[in-house]
Chains A and B, each alone.
Chain A
Amino acid sequence: MQAEQKIVAQLVKKFAFLQERIFVQRQKRIFTLPLVKEEFEQVLPYLHAELGFAKASLVVGTDDGDDLGFIYILSNREGIILALKEKTPKSDPRIKTVTDLFPALALHERELVNLFGAVVEGLPGDSSFPLPDGWPEGSYPMRKDWNPQYFDQETMTYNPPSQEVEKEGGNE
């Protein structure tokens, strides 16, 4: 685990805010705690340019209550995987695209837009992936409060109970 410890030490030396927020989980696995947008945007280019983490396999979106989480899974030529986490409040879920450094993550970022309602600044194109065209706007199925039982496949509308109650009240 020497190589992993060395990477962690190098990162902590460069970015003081990573102190106690980055750890070796096991051999070939390094995890960080969630970083805010400004911190994340400093660490990612450094990992890419200086530490050889040139391959990005995927971005995992997570719903963490008041925040949206994004876990960027990067690896270097030695096969060490670093899971770099970013978080942003759901009230303003803005992140910056990383496709300039990692073009392979374009589809993954599009998925964050579609399924989690993230706003990915600078992401090229505007096609819908992976949800079909005509999916109701503002309906993000991978958020924890989205319940498939309120989705009507026929009309492609999402009708959670609070809206149904209001509708019934209006009819009376």
Chain B
Amino acid sequence: MKPKKGNNRIVIPIGPQHPSLKEPGCFRITLEGEKVVHAEIDIGYNHRGLEKACESRNYIQTLYLIERVCGICSHTHSTAFCQGIEELAGLSIPPRAAYIRVIVSELERLHSHLLWLGVAGHEIGFDTLFMYSWRDREKVLDVLAEVCGNRVNYGINTIGGVRRDLDESMQQNIAKVIAFLEDQLKYYLDLALTDPTLSARLAGIGKLSREDALKYGAVGPVARAAGIMEDIRIIEPYAAYIEVPVKPVTDTRADVLGRTVVRIQEMLESLEIIGYCLKNLPGGELTVKAPRRIPAGEVISRTEAPRGENIHFIRANGTDILDRVRVRAPTEANWHGMKHMLEGEYLADVPITIAAIDPCYSCADRAIVINSERKTEMMDWQGLREYSIDWYKKRGLDLSAVKMPERKIYI
């Protein structure tokens, strides 16, 4: 805390460790009494040179790096990258692959929004909502693990299609989860619209008007909660969204409550989309053959991530290594309006205001985690557990005595 001379202003640095969320970012908040009069945002703590690393790896290796831009919305990045490369190579993916991409994409949106809803509940001291919402999120993660083999970083996309099929039992499990979630989400929506505590805590907080949202380039639920209908699934449909109906969700509150309502309604819409895809899932192949060398050219590929518009700029030079990739994740676009949202707020509302854009610091800074194992193999949960025990044992930590209950899908 640093009082400034000559006035009653106090500067409080929030972060870089754990500023409302467990990710690094620094917010220097200048207070006059309890009111925020100035806010400075300092990010970049997660920058590890992902784009540079992509310039020395082939397209398939790059795909796996790109998927690791973000742990929560990894599928949207791999989709944007794959469809960019497919456009350059003149490939069109099989219809079944396009539908599977959409199903995974909507499951990802569900788990991302449920995660956010829990975090938002936690930020305002409503931990019951946090527990309910994260319990529901587990069911989505369970089916994602069943479909893709992993809870995050699904590895289902490949250039030219998808790597795994959806069998009957997977489709049934997804259908069970969406049936369960429908009731829950309707309850959360009712809660957001009618509960006086929630509305007292969220209404009028973190205002970003329609004009300001346009000026600062806000995207996703932040823009849609300010009445701007901007959804890449609708304005520039990709994968199976060309056929699958998507209803736009907007709100005019332009505050944190508006963003909450938009996200819950989007989840209900996601259930509709998944239901439609399951009902109309076409048969056929999962991939088309992709060339190793991609023809020279430039492409701008867009997808609608859970947090908003995700843009990948890719420049290929005719070899098997790309010349340049630039990832503009949605959080990167939403930071700009943040300063505006914070100024004029009370200090106590800073955490929920920051959380309300659903920031993903890794996305914005484009983090990297590399594992250069060359082997390709499928592991079941038991195999994965044995691998991790072995991994730790080599580093001097023996966890083999820890007993784990048998894993079953929580549906």
Contact = CB atoms under 8 A, between A and B. Distances in A.
Interface string B296-332: 0010100000000101010100000001101010001
A79 B237 CA distance: 11
Contact of A141 (B49, B298, B335): B49
Interface string A134-168: 00000001101010100000000000000000000
Contacts of B336: 103-104, 106-107
Given A141-B49, A148-B49, A104 B217 contact: yes
B44, B49, B298, B333 — most chain A CB neighbours (10 Å): B44
B29 to A, nearest CB: 16
Contact of B298 (A31, A58, A103): A31
B183 to A, nearest CB: 35
A31, A60, A129 — most chain B CB neighbours (10 Å): A60
B42, B215, B298, B335 — most chain A CB neighbours (10 Å): B298
Nearest to B337: A104
B217 A107 contact: no
Contacts of B255: none
A116 to B, nearest CB: 11
A interface majority secondary structure: mixed
B217 A55 contact: yes
A54 interface: yes
B333 A73 contact: no
A127 B47 contact: no
B181 to A, nearest CB: 31
Given A56-B217, A107-B335, A129 B300 contact: no
A68 interface: no
Given A83-B300, A130-B365, A142-B52, A58 B47 contact: no
B43 interface: yes
A81 interface: yes
A57 interface: yes
Nearest to B297: A25
Contacts of A144: 55
B216 A57 contact: no
Interface size class of B (residues with CB under 8 A): 20 to 34
B52, B298, B300, B336 — most chain A CB neighbours (10 Å): B300
A114 to B, nearest CB: 9
Contact of A73 (B44, B214, B235, B300): B300
B335 A81 contact: no
Contacts of A102: 217
Nearest to A61: B326
Given A81-B300, A130-B365, A58 B326 contact: yes
Interface string B266-310: 000000000000000000000000000000001010000000010
A146 B328 CA distance: 23
A130 B324 contact: no
Nearest to B219: A57
A79 B300 CA distance: 13
B236 interface: yes
Interface string A67-85: 0000101000001010100
Interface string A102-127: 11101100000000000000000001
Given A31-B298, A142-B52, A130 B328 contact: no
B298 A54 contact: no
Contacts of A81: 300
B311 A57 contact: yes
Contacts of B49: 141, 148
A71 to B, nearest CB: 7
Interface in B39-73: 42-44, 47, 49, 51-53, 55
Contact of A103 (B43, B44, B215, B236): B215
Nearest to B309: A57
B324 A62 contact: yes
Contacts of A94: none
B300 A55 contact: no
Contacts of B365: 130
Given A57-B217, A106-B336, A142-B51, A131 B313 contact: no
A33 B326 CA distance: 18
A71 B190 CA distance: 45
B302 to A, nearest CB: 8
15 contacts: A28-B236, A29-B300, A31-B298, A54-B214, A57-B328, A60-B324, A62-B315, A73-B300, A103-B336, A129-B43, A130-B43, A130-B44, A130-B47, A132-B44, A144-B55
* Nearest 9 CB-CB pairings of A with B: A130-B44, A104-B217, A130-B47, A58-B328, A79-B235, A60-B326, A104-B336, A129-B44, A60-B313
Given A29-B300, A144-B55, 5 more contacts: A55-B217, A62-B323, A73-B300, A130-B43, A130-B365
Interface of A: 25, 28-29, 31, 54-58, 60-62, 71, 73, 79, 81, 83, 102-104, 106-107, 127-132, 141-142, 144, 146, 148
